[in-house]
Amino acid sequence: MHTITLIQGDGIGPEVTASAKQVIDALKLDIAWDVVNAGLDVYNETGELVPDSVYQSIEKNKVVLKGPITTPIGEGFRSINVMLRKKYDLYCNLRPALSIQGIETRYSDIDIILFRENTEGLYVGVEHVISDDEIHAEKIITRKGSERIIRAAFEYAEKHGRKKVTLVHKANILKLTDGMFLNIGKDISTEYPNILFEAIIIDNMCMQLVMNPNQFDVVVTMNLYGDILSDLCAGLIGGLGVIPGANIGETIAVFEAVHGSAPTIAGKNLANPTAILLSAAMLLDHIGEVKSGEKLRNAITSVLKSGVKTTDLGGDATTTEFTKAVIEALG
């Protein structure tokens, strides 16, 4: 049996995680749930952002499905998402952007797998007040962090028959930090002679993604660039409501929708659960239930092709109706 930690989250989090739980339960797998919560709602109720019970559950079960969590802007504490990634060394942020039949966009056949380094860069949050008029932020890049994310991208490409790895950087300006990341990428690429390697400057990468996204296959980059590019890629396939994410370390993996907690529609049965359902499919792959993961993806596609869509995708289905349709499509 697999026991999965389920963090409900804030805003629409409880609604979309409930949807995911119902859908996975409908697959009738040997899965049990350990339901806990963290975030702003918990903080307002208890004074704790992340109760000890959440850490204990994560460390025991090793696999987590997490709803979106609110991070107040400009407040004294940092993102819980960033904190969990640092605490459990979830260095690999994996975000697939795949076109989904039934969702109309200006592009077709998008199939980009983004590997984002998850623990370094500017997101280490090391900032220094120099004066009232000057504040510095440190960007930290290490050889270890660079090597393992770049190697993860190449290993994925080799395992899944991918043809090209694109490394994104700004080494023309940041010659030491980004320069080291780029040089490590060049060195590692020589170990994979059957995979084409290219390096692109971040600003050019953004333009190329908009003009011709189909030229890209596997993409690997540093933390901030990856955060920006993942949202850009989401826009290519229909928005944040349809893109999944995984944060993977050596022993623990956290699967989550990329979108936020959307408090303005919380409790209204309007949330689109597609992203967390696709994240759940990635979770199933991770625990060895690959056939079930593919079955879930196919069911989601079938439902969207049939015209059952939530309001953010131009439809009128509620969260409940969409969830029911996916369960019925599972057969």
CATH number at residue 51: 3.40.718.10
Q: Are residues 120 and 182 in the same domain?
A: yes
In the block, which residue shows the tokens 């993604």?
Answer: 209
Please tell me the distance from the alpha carbon of residue 320 to that of residue 221, in angstroms, as a whole number. Answer: 37
Q: Are residues 82 and 119 in the same domain?
A: no
Supply the pLDDT for residue 73: 57
Asked, for residue 155, whether it belongs to a domain, the answer is yes
Q: Are residues 231 and 312 in the same domain?
A: no
Q: Are residues 326 and 266 in the same domain?
A: yes
Asked, for residue 101, whether it belongs to a domain, the answer is no
Please tell me the distance from the alpha carbon of residue 275 to that of residue 256, in angstroms, as a whole number. Answer: 8
Q: Are residues 172 and 68 in the same domain?
A: no
Q: Are residues 113 and 231 in the same domain?
A: yes
Single residue among 211, 237, 263 that ends a domain in this structure = 237
Q: Are residues 277 and 327 in the same domain?
A: yes
Supply the pLDDT for residue 298: 97
Q: Are residues 142 and 221 in the same domain?
A: yes
Q: How far is CA 144 from CA 67, 151, 166, 304, in A?
A: 30, 11, 19, 42
Single residue among 205, 237, 269 that ends a domain in this structure = 237
Number of domains present in the structure of the chain: 2
Asked, for residue 191, whether it belongs to a domain, the answer is yes
Supply the pLDDT for residue 299: 97
Q: Are residues 149 and 177 in the same domain?
A: yes
Q: Are residues 276 and 233 in the same domain?
A: no
Q: Note down pLDDT in tens along the chain; length 331 residues.
A: 899 999 999 999 999 999 999 999 999 999 999 999 988 888 888 888 888 999 999 999 999 999 998 865 555 556 788 888 989 999 999 999 999 998 989 998 999 999 999 999 998 889 999 999 999 999 999 999 999 999 999 999 999 999 999 999 999 999 999 999 999 999 999 999 999 999 999 999 999 999 999 999 999 999 999 999 999 999 999 999 999 999 999 999 999 988 989 999 999 999 999 999 999 999 999 999 999 999 999 999 999 999 999 999 999 999 999 999 999 999 8
Domain that holds residue 155: 106-237
Supply the pLDDT for residue 271: 96
In the block, which residue shows the tokens 């022993």?
Answer: 251
